[in-house]
Amino acid sequence: MKKYISQLMLGNIVNKTIVDRPFSEVLEAVKKSIELHDFKISVVHDIKDTFQKNNLPIGEDFEYTIIQFCNAPKAHMAVMKLSHDVGIMMPKSIVISRENGKTALRFMQMKPWMVGMMFPDIDLKPLSKKVMKALQSIVNDAIKML
């Protein structure tokens, strides 16, 4: 019941695309696509490495990387002109992982109305629509590069 209500109210929060390509190729394509869309990569989190350093068990085919990225001029405008609170939505992230022998790409797909409800004092819906479109374009273009 909880899952049904969540799906009804929020839709799919996790945008997930699965491709039958090697992890390393997908990772490089996503990095390139991010830069082609005028974003700069802030951090690349290699979760596999983190788990290994902490002696946590992982499967033989386990790969999991989180790429965080930002468009500094747009982020600056949002923080300085709209609200310092919008920083909780930054930077954007795309997760690339191995799953059942395939590579998956994920990002959080916030609905513009959800963002609007989070920040009722400012109109973030137009900005949210642009950001969601950019995230989807980054993933789509990365897949085209493969």
Q: Is residue 3 part of a domain?
A: no
Q: Is residue 51 part of a domain?
A: yes
Q: What is the pLDDT of residues 81-123, one digit of tens each?
A: 999 999 999 999 999 999 889 999 999 998 888 888 888 999 8
Q: Is residue 85 part of a domain?
A: yes
What domain range includes position 107?
A: 14-145
Per the structure, how many domains does the chain have?
1
Q: What is the pLDDT of residue 8?
A: 63
Q: What is the pLDDT of residues 28-60, one digit of tens each?
A: 999 999 999 999 999 999 999 999 999 999 988
Q: Is residue 122 part of a domain?
A: yes
Q: Is residue 2 part of a domain?
A: no
CATH of the domain at 59: 3.30.310.70
Q: Is residue 8 part of a domain?
A: no
Q: What is the pLDDT of residue 9?
A: 62
Nearest residue to 13 (alpha-carbon basis) of 95, 98, 86, 84: 95
Q: Is residue 39 part of a domain?
A: yes
Q: What is the pLDDT of residue 71?
A: 96
What is the torsion angle, in degrees rounded to the nearest 10, for the CA atoms of residue 118, residue 31, residue 14 and residue 123? 20
**pTM for the full predicted model:** 0.90
- Do 96 and 63 touch, CB atoms closer than 8 A? yes
What's the whole-number mean pLDDT along residues 116-133?
A: 90
Q: Exposed, middle or buried: residue 9 (CB in 10 Å: 0-12, 13-18, 19+)?
A: exposed
Phi, psi of 91 (to 5 degrees): -75, 175
